Structure 1
Amino acid sequence: MSSISANSIHAKFASDEDYEPNNKNEKSSNSSQNTLNIQNVKLGTSKSSIESLEHIPISISSTHNGKYQDYQIPVSPTLSCTTVSSMIDELRTESSFPDIIDSTHKLFDPNCDPENPIEVKFDEVLSARSIIQESIDKTPCKKSRLSSMCNMEIWFKKDYLQYTGSFKERGASHALLKLLANREKHINSQDIINPKYPIDFEGVIAASAGNHALALAYHGQLNNIPVTVVMPKYAPIMKINSCKQFNAQVIVRGNDLTESKQYAMYLAKIRNLVYINGYDHRDIIAGQGTTGIEICEQMGQFDAIIIPVGGGGLIAGVAVAIKQLRPNAMIIGAEAVRCPSFTNALKAGKPTHTPSYSSLADGLAVPVVGVNAFETAKNIIDKVVTVNEEHIALAILRLLEMEKAVVEGAGACGFAAVLANLVPELIGKRVVILLCGGNIDTSILGRCMDRGLAADGRLVRFKVTLLDRPGGIAQLTNYLFTVGVSLKDIFHERAWVKNDIFSVDVKCVVETKDWEHTFLLKDGLKQRYPNARFEDLEDKMMISRPSLH
């Protein structure tokens, strides 16, 4: 029996008037033989008549406003009431969430007040360490084989090896355990220990592009706390599905994290949920800072640490710990050039909105850095650099090939800064780099591999003009075979050729071993085909050459 994908369902509101409860009951009594009622859901047909219809009409009562929404489910030959009913819970849940935010509700997160930012202290990080030590893995910090390539002693802190694939577990576990501890103290003492920790709540909610949502869902499940996560439209499918596997309620709303955050705060207000900011809540920052304590325990002395920067919670917490335990170590942040919100905040002297564009480092695409994170980190960070997409892709490729580590774009941003030669002052130094996330979609991973190979000069495209006669292509491919390159793609173009009518343009994509192999191919082709043209070759060389010096 096949099931129906939610993507195959076309939803539409009643065009003339909404279904009212009394209308629903009237219709149900008049057509009871053709209607299946399941908790305010009406299927407007019977099992025997399904195959004769093109669509199955469904009306669902919204728990938000009591109105009815119509759904049309396409019919397939194997469809039955059983498979339709399997979608009811998901449809009803989706219909229960309001499409727009009621403007009469004032949205404010008391834990992240722009007028009164909080500077997280080292004793909070130390306290977080003792609270979460039983629920968080102590991840390895190992010397990298890439050290000689980069002319510095690189040590990777591999926090992507946490159970849910990112460092976010540290902050999520800490925040949830503090909530539970405060409620337990209140029950025992009949007194509110900390007014900023609610006592009576129905669950927790957060806005996240993926990793914070995953961590909160997982630790919420472990501690029997209901979790709702609001994810922006660009959130990877893998992260959305993983959150559902941890029994979290997932809502996809917003074009960026700012819009998702507004919606999450609205739901928190109307549904008695505790909103937990994934990068700016002081307990989150303190929890992330435990990474810094671990590094100091594992490493001894080191000269610098490079930390990916999105909302600022990780670099703020780690910087607090490092400056306390290794005051002479440089702290360098690395963020994606497609959303340099921390760089802009430093220039403006305060968090400021930064346009966010799609990026391989989707986890760092936070338009406005956290006010607490910025207040904590602004005076103890030594440098912040921005990394382009090509170097992020190259970093993912290097880590996969050399370290056997599958790391997402956001997690690889620190290493990308080294490959981009953005930290030349660290040459010859002992450097720790945080690999903080490994949740990358398999489809995105494939694209990253191609981009990384192209940036590394190992995936090359060129165009040559040949005589359009038998044997022309054979001669070209025979030369490629002789040089030892692998032909990945080939395309013939006859209509838009500017030469004589007997010519054809041939576009090729080939894979080489390295830059030397690429230039051997280029020189040979130029000798045989003076019109051979290589696209973007010089630009690509400039991208990966710093990592070869």
Structure 2
Amino acid sequence: MMDCIRRRPVIFLQNIEKMRRLLGPVAFHTPLAPSPHLGNLVGAEVFLKLENLQRTGSFKIRGAYARLHRLAQERPGAGVVAASAGNHAQGVAVSARLLGLKAVIFMPVGVSLSKREATVASGAEIRLKGESVAECLEAARALTPELTLIHPYDDEQVILGQASLGLEILEDLPQVQAVVVPVGGGGLIGGVAAAIKAKAPSVRVVGVEPSLAASAAAALREGRPVTVATEPTLADGACISRVGELTLPLIQRYVDDMVQVAEEHIAQAMLLLLERRRIVVEGAGALGLAAFLAEAVPALRGKRVVLLISGGNVDSNLLGRIIDQGLVRSGRIYRFSVVLPDRPGALAGLLTQVAAAQANVLHISHDRLAKGLPPRQSRVSLEIETRGFAHAQEVAAGLETKGYPVQPE
């Protein structure tokens, strides 16, 4: 099949179309929703491919079912093993249950409780191992050949399953000019890009990865998959230290550009999608919008663009922290301190000025014992809600004018 991808895209297209028919009763044809507000914000005609509404909450069931269906035909009742921090685990677990296969899933010790419980509820056996997906993958390989390893991205059938997304996009929006795809191990963008280029070669395909896990960019520079150091990122679903041996050639041939985005833009994108579209999106799913917010894709301004929202499986506790971080990073929560005379009415005067500037006080602390403070003075720390960076600066400037020296925190 990979030779078909590299040398004969028409035959590959036929394979994708066959796979799409197979997936029809299992994977949803998810909505492609226009987003005029986001479009006005980023300067493009934006559409959202909402795989967060997919069965299991992400695109992963497409590739997982494709791979397990082939296995079920070859070896009915076989057992499978996989390694995942969440989305691939749920895709494999649900697919195994539908096809009557036993599934063992290795997950990192620190995996979110919600993802762990969702995988267990789908009927898989969960084993916790190590701190990373890489450690889990090694543990999973140790159970082969008794169980068949289902790789999360570096597998021909998995790539074919993910490629079905490309056909859906072209069917729903034939006039699309660009598709922006999150990148982790490369299975999603490799399949989607190959499908799109086979039917519409003029459509640009752009990959986005977190700057803290830029393994695709490193592989493109070196011309081969290389292992890179990664750091914890909001886009944990795309935190992969090495792209696949099968996926890199697809990226090299079919992807027009690969960009990276910082954490602040990922958080801002998640918050915007939640506030403006009421869409709960995990960090990896917000990478496309983050690329626009980071001004990393200037060539797409004014274009008709699809942002692939790859998933929405974000832990509820983490979501609250992400919202708070997004508010801080967008300037809508502003933290600062002021040294006041320790006398009646001083604090009231400060708060009066904050209220006059149309800012809302969220938290306040009053410390008379702070190090370095002289007697008869106190340090007041405030967390206020503003309309953004410009408003926060107006508040600070107004306080300075009234004699309150502001120290940002």
TM-score normalised over the length of structure 1: 0.71
Question: Which secondary structure does the structure 1 equivalent of 2:181 belong to?
Answer: strand
Instruction: Say which of 17, 22, 25 aligns to 1:126.
Output: 17
User: Does 1:465 pair with 2:339?
Assistant: yes
Distance 2:121 2:68 in 1: 19
Runs of 4+ in 1 over 4 A off after TM superposition: none
Number of equivalenced pairs: 404
- Residue 62 of structure 2 corresponds to which residue in structure 1? 170
Please list the CA deviations of residues 47-66 of structure 1 after superposition, one character each: whole Å capped at 9, or x if unmatched: xxxxxxxxxxxxxxxxxxxx
- Amino acid of the structure 2 residue aligned with 1:533: Q
**Do the aligned residues in 1 keep the contact of 2:45 with 2:302 (CA within 8 Å)?**
yes
| Greater mean deviation of Cα atoms: 337-346 or 433-442 | 337-346
Question: Which secondary structure does the structure 2 equivalent of 1:469 belong to?
Answer: coil
- Amino acid of the structure 1 residue aligned with 2:126: V
Distance 2:99 2:49 in 1: 27
Question: Which secondary structure does the structure 2 equivalent of 1:431 belong to?
Answer: strand
Which structure carries more relative contact order (alpha carbon 8 Å, separation 6+)? Answer: 2
- Residue 267 of structure 1 corresponds to which residue in structure 2? 143
- Residue 348 of structure 1 corresponds to which residue in structure 2? 222
Question: Which secondary structure does the structure 1 equivalent of 2:19 belong to?
Answer: helix
- Residue 43 of structure 1 corresponds to which residue in structure 2? none
Cα 1:254/1:375, change in 2 over 3 Å: farther
**Do the aligned residues in 2 keep the contact of 1:141 with 1:157 (CA within 8 Å)?**
yes
Question: Which secondary structure does the structure 2 equivalent of 1:164 belong to?
Answer: helix
- Residue 325 of structure 1 corresponds to which residue in structure 2? 199
- Residue 391 of structure 2 corresponds to which residue in structure 1? 517
Distance 1:211 1:304 in 2: 26
Distance 1:291 1:215 in 2: 15
**Do the aligned residues in 2 keep the contact of 1:161 with 1:438 (CA within 8 Å)?**
yes
User: Does 1:141 pair with 2:32?
Assistant: yes
Distance 1:220 1:177 in 2: 9
Percent of matched pairs sharing the same residue: 36
- Amino acid of the structure 1 residue aligned with 2:319: L
Distance 1:162 1:456 in 2: 29
Distance 2:201 2:272 in 1: 31
- Where does the alignment leave 5 or more consecutive residues of structure 2 unmatched? none
Cα 1:529/1:230, change in 2 over 3 Å: farther
- Amino acid of the structure 1 residue aligned with 2:154: D
- Residue 248 of structure 1 corresponds to which residue in structure 2? 124
User: Does 1:528 pair with 2:402?
Assistant: yes
**Structure-to-structure mapping, 1:81-100, within 5 angstroms:** none
- Amino acid of the structure 2 residue aligned with 1:436: S
Instruction: Say which of 259, 263, 285 aligns to 1:385.
Output: 259
**Which one has a bigger Cα radius of gyration?**
1
**Do the aligned residues in 2 keep the contact of 1:301 with 1:326 (CA within 8 Å)?**
no
- Residue 504 of structure 1 corresponds to which residue in structure 2? 378
- Amino acid of the structure 1 residue aligned with 2:305: V
- Where does the alignment leave 5 or more consecutive residues of structure 1 unmatched? 1-110, 184-198, 536-549
User: Does 1:395 pair with 2:261?
Assistant: no
User: Does 1:159 pair with 2:51?
Assistant: yes
Distance 2:114 2:202 in 1: 40
- Residue 432 of structure 1 corresponds to which residue in structure 2? 306
- Residue 257 of structure 1 corresponds to which residue in structure 2? 133
**Do the aligned residues in 2 keep the contact of 1:131 with 1:177 (CA within 8 Å)?**
no
- Amino acid of the structure 2 residue aligned with 1:173: Y
Distance 2:384 2:333 in 1: 6
User: Does 1:220 pair with 2:96?
Assistant: yes
- Amino acid of the structure 1 residue aligned with 2:56: T
Distance 1:353 1:220 in 2: 31
Instruction: Say which of 321, 339, 357 aligns to 2:213.
Output: 339
- Amino acid of the structure 1 residue aligned with 2:90: L
Please list the CA deviations of residues 98-137 of structure 1 after superposition, one character each: whole Å capped at 9, or x if unmatched: xxxxxxxxxxxxx99xxx9x85943332221122112111
**Do the aligned residues in 2 keep the contact of 1:497 with 1:504 (CA within 8 Å)?**
no
**Do the aligned residues in 2 keep the contact of 1:497 with 1:503 (CA within 8 Å)?**
no
Distance 2:368 2:299 in 1: 52
User: Does 1:374 pair with 2:266?
Assistant: no
Q: Shift of the alpha carbon at 1:516?
A: 3.6
- Amino acid of the structure 1 residue aligned with 2:193: A
Please list the CA deviations of residues 215-244 of structure 1 after superposition, one character each: whole Å capped at 9, or x if unmatched: 111121122211111112342221111001
**Do the aligned residues in 1 keep the contact of 2:77 with 2:102 (CA within 8 Å)?**
no
Q: Shift of the alpha carbon at 1:170?
A: 0.7
**Do the aligned residues in 2 keep the contact of 1:256 with 1:356 (CA within 8 Å)?**
no
